[in-house]
């Protein structure tokens, strides 16, 4: 489902490439963690997987599409099949929870009433249906991350990429958020979660890939 082959990504100011010949493969429906010190390149690697950046060398394939060139077809596929969850939620702050979730479907041309219904269901699934009408700034961090998860899952993604999704949450909320991400996985999504939360790694026994000095090493 996700395949990274011999990928090199270097930034000008740096002596060594951030990603220095990476190989990585995640089968359809599997769940893995991505660990590594701050600055080791986790976000950089994830960005290559959702088409926000391209490798200098090598190849990134997601859901059968080669992403190393900015071809519009690959980007359209990503918008449809790949969902991303960020540490800082990245919701539209001037919109309600419901509008944030519904917009994903409306942008795909889903009929307004159906989009409304499915967005409500997605918010109910993550336990915040009661807050649907609230503007984002009136939601707590944990509630905002649930909205972001609902937004990620409403379109039934094939791939779910999470970049330190619990970085701004306390331990109890972190476990709940991981539980919801696990749920997405049980519905068939291929999931990759960048984290350095050791409690999460302990409680959710999925394979872990560790990024260090530009290389990726499987642990556990």
Ligand X SMILES: Nc1ncnc2c1ncn2[C@@H]1O[C@H](COP(=O)(O)OP(=O)(O)O)[C@@H](O)[C@H]1O
User: Which residue, 13 or 38, is less far from Mg ion as judged by CB?
Assistant: 38
Hey, which bits of 52-147 come out as E strands? 57-62, 65-66, 82-86
User: Which residue, 11 or 179, is less far from ligand X as judged by CB?
Assistant: 11
Residue 68 touches which member of Mg ion, ligand X, none, C-beta under 5-8 Å by kind: none
Bridge-partner residues for 193, per DSSP?
33, 162
User: For ligand X, which residue of 17, 36, 55, 214 counts as binding (CB under 6 A)?
Assistant: 36
Is residue 38 a contact point for ligand X (CB under 6 A)?
yes
Is residue 176 a contact point for ligand X (CB under 6 A)?
no
Stretch that binds ligand X, among 41-49, 140-148, 178-186, 201-209 (CB under 6 A): 41-49
How far is the C-alpha of 50 from the C-alpha of 19, rounded, in Å? 16
Contacting residues toward Mg ion, per CB under 5 A? 42-43
User: For ligand X, which residue of 39, 72, 109, 137 counts as binding (CB under 6 A)?
Assistant: 39
Q: Which residues contact 70 (CB under 8 A, 6 or more apart)?
A: 51, 54
Distance from the Cα of residue 90 to its chain's centroid: 12
Q: Which two tokens stand for residue 220?
A: 């556990």
User: For ligand X, which residue of 18, 105, 189, 192 counts as binding (CB under 6 A)?
Assistant: 18
User: For ligand X, which residue of 31, 33, 42, 118 counts as binding (CB under 6 A)?
Assistant: 42
User: Which residue, 13 or 198, is less far from ligand X as judged by CB?
Assistant: 13
Please, what's the b/e burial string for 45-65 (b: 16 or more CB within 10 A of its CB; e: otherwise)?
bbbbbbbebebeebebbbbeb
Taking alpha carbons only, the member of 158, 134, 159 closest to residue 146 is 134
Which residues would be at the binding site for ligand X (CB under 6 A)?
Answer: 11, 13, 18, 36, 38-44
């Amino acid at each position: 489902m996700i395949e990274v082959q011999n990928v090199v990504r270097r930034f000008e100011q740096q002596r060594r490439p951030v990603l220095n010949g990476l190989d990585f493969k995640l089968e359809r429906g599997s769940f893995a963690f991505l660990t590594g010190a701050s600055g080791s390149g986790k976000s950089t690697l994830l960005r290559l997987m959702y088409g926000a950046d391209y490798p200098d060398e090598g190849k990134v394939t997601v859901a059968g599409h080669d992403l190393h060139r900015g071809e519009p077809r690959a980007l359209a596929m990503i918008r449809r099949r790949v969902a991303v969850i960020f540490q800082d939620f990245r919701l539209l702050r001037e919109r309600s929870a419901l509008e944030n979730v519904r917009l994903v479907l409306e942008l795909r041309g889903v009929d307004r009433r159906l989009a409304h219904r499915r967005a409500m269901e997605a918010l109910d699934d993550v336990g915040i249906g009661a807050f649907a009408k609230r503007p984002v700034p009136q939601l707590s961090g944990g509630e905002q991350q649930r909205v972001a998860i609902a937004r990620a899952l409403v379109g039934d993604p094939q791939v779910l990429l999470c970049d330190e999704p619990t970085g701004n949450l306390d331990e109890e909320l972190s476990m709940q958020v991981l539980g919801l991400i696990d749920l997405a996985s049980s519905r068939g999504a291929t999931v990759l979660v960048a984290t350095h939360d050791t409690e999460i790694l302990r409680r959710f026994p999925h394979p872990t890939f560790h990024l260090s000095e530009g290389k990726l090493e499987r642990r556990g």
